[in-house]
Structure 1
Amino acid sequence: MIALALAILLNQAGERIGTSDGGLPPQTGRAQISALAQALARQASHDFGAPQIEGLTANSLAVFASDFFGDFAALRDMVTRAAGQHVRGVLLMVLDPQELHFPFQGRTLFESMAGSLRHESQKADDLRQPYFEALKERKAQVANLAQSLGWQFFMHSTDQPATGALLDLYHALEYRR
């Protein structure tokens, strides 16, 4: 939703918008917003994908929004390749409150959004500390990656109003133009 709202704002400002995978080349207009909404809905059904950058052009701006729990090497490679093509951008880490607070106890079944990964634990509380350490490390990796490439990093929790993340992104991209 944040990506779509940002696209609407950028479109209203006269910017061309599209998907980084090249499936929706950058254009302006209401039809483009509709096509982008459909493309984003399709992408939400995949687990742990690294961004595709075939559709990015030199001197463009990119926003990659994810929990970034997937393969970090793939993320690093794609974002580094994009920066090498003179693409500037933002990495937005979006996390659910349950991912931030890990309230699980006892027998718990963990399942990825698209259902391709499952893990059952009899003592989820035993996973809390290792999970927090892994989350802290992943946030640091993503933030350091962004900083090393001259990109920006933001984190958003879905229990907070999306307007804060949207404003951060809009100002970051406005500054980068």
Structure 2
Amino acid sequence: MLRTRVLGPAERQPAQPVLKASLDLAARLPRLVLEARRVSASVHGIHGRRRSGPGETFWQYRPLVAGESASRIDWRRSARDGHLFVREREWEASHAIWLWIDRSASMGFSSSLALASKVDRALVAGFALAEALVEGGERVGHMGLTRALASRRIVESLAQAILADRHGGDADLPPDQPLPRLAEAILITDALTPAEGLARRIATMASSGAKGHLLLIVDPIEETFPFSGQAELFDLEDGLSLRVGDAGAWGEEYRQRLQAHRDAIREACRHAGWTLTLHRTDRPASEGVLRIASLIAASRGPGG
């Protein structure tokens, strides 16, 4: 009998020791952060909108320009080498990129064909994009968890916020609120929730004219449904299970319904002017990250 299982938040202490590390987010995060940094190093060409102006975030030191007020001089920095320097802060307008990383129970699934679980791949992709975007001059935050930051420690900030979030594993949809008009969203999810609900959230976020990108994380087995004979299917989000006498006979109908589900999500993205990217977990994480990065870079135009 074939079995497929979805790893849920209730299974923090699994019966099988071999699964314990895969469920312990605190133990996995250092490895995921390192992998994300490796992936982000391959991303180039994102030119952001950072410039000096009123704000709270330190950006850079620059030499004092003749005619500027002496009150702008950073005397501690200037004392190091005898030249006068000004401490510039980043201009913080409403431009920001907002991540939302799905960590619901279905994201814990990983088949024997995958290189990683969906949630691990989503975290790596989100962290890698955040670091690449900040390096390119953007401000990045996680919806409902952090403010938008231009910090060089953006990955650590996101990881700490996610680790401290006690309810993130219960939400399979992003927050139901519009984004600022000049903001941009990146939703990273398996979208295994009714398409109508996700479509409504996308419409709400885009109602102000905000741009967005949906990165759909899928396991190869979810795409192909390669089962035959008897199978037992589990849905740990709803606590349901289903015994199937002839799984092979279900395959074609399953794939048709999956395609209809994807078409509805694709139409919601098209209607909002958003992009949709499909990423399988049997492929390198860099592929999905580079695709989203190229879409964001293209939206900036030749001059960023």
After the TM superposition, which residues 22-101 of structure 1 pair with which residues of structure 2 at under 5 Å, given as runs? 22-40=144-162, 45-46=169-170, 49-54=172-177, 56-101=179-224
Q: Which amino acid aligns with 2:283?
A: Q
Q: Which amino acid aligns with 2:291?
A: D
Match of 2:27 in 1: none
Per-residue CA shift, 1:52-110, capped at 9, x if unaligned? 15483221110112121202221111110111122101111111011011122233232
Shift in alpha-carbon separation, 1:111–1:12, aligned structure 2, 3 A: farther
SS at match of 2:173: coil
Q: Distance in 1 between matches of 2:153 and 2:274?
A: 29
Deviation at residue 158 of structure 1 after TM alignment:
0.7
Task: Look up the SS of the partner of 2:233 in the other structure.
Answer: strand
Question: Given the superposition, is the C-alpha separation of residues 133 and 44 from structure 1 closer, same or farther in structure 2, using an over 3 Å criterion?
Answer: farther
Change (3 A) 1:40 1:105: farther
Task: Work out whether residues 90 and 153 of structure 1, in 8 Å CA contact, stay in contact via their aligned partners in 2.
Answer: yes
Question: Segments of 4+ in structure 1 off by > 6 A?
Answer: none
Please, what is the CA RMSD of the aligned residues?
2.2
Assess, with a 3 A threshold, how the Cα gap between structure 1 residues 30 and 46 changes in structure 2: closer, same or farther: farther
Q: Which residue type is aligned with residue 107 of structure 1?
A: Q
Gaps of 5+ in 2: 1-123
Q: Secondary structure at the match of 1:119?
A: strand
Kindly provide the amino acid, as one letter, of the partner of residue 65 in structure 1.
I
Q: CA deviation at 1:44?
A: 6.9
Query: 2 CA distance for matches of 1:83 and 1:162?
Result: 27
- CA deviations on 1:144-170 (whole Å, 9 max, x unpaired) are 111111111111111011212111100
How far apart in 2 are the matches of 1:106 and 1:15? 51
Return the index of the structure with the highest Cα Rg.
Answer: 2
Q: Which amino acid aligns with 1:155?
A: L
Indicate which of 126, 132, 135 corresponds to 1:9.
Answer: 132
- When residues 19 and 56 of structure 1 are mapped into structure 2, their CA distance, relative to the original with a 3 A threshold, is farther
Please name the residue that 1:165 is paired with: 288
Unpaired segments of 5 or more residues in structure 1?
none
Q: 1:71 to 1:115 in 2, by over 3 A?
A: closer
Match of residue 229, structure 2, among 88, 92, 106: 106
Provide TM-score, normalisation by structure 2. 0.52
Q: 1: CA distance between counterparts of 2:168 and 2:147?
A: 19
Q: Percent identity?
A: 24
**Paired amino acid for 1:33:** V
- CA shift for structure 1 position 142: 1.4
1:128 corresponds in structure 2 to 251
Q: Match for 1:36: what amino acid?
A: L
- Structure ranking higher in helix proportion: 1
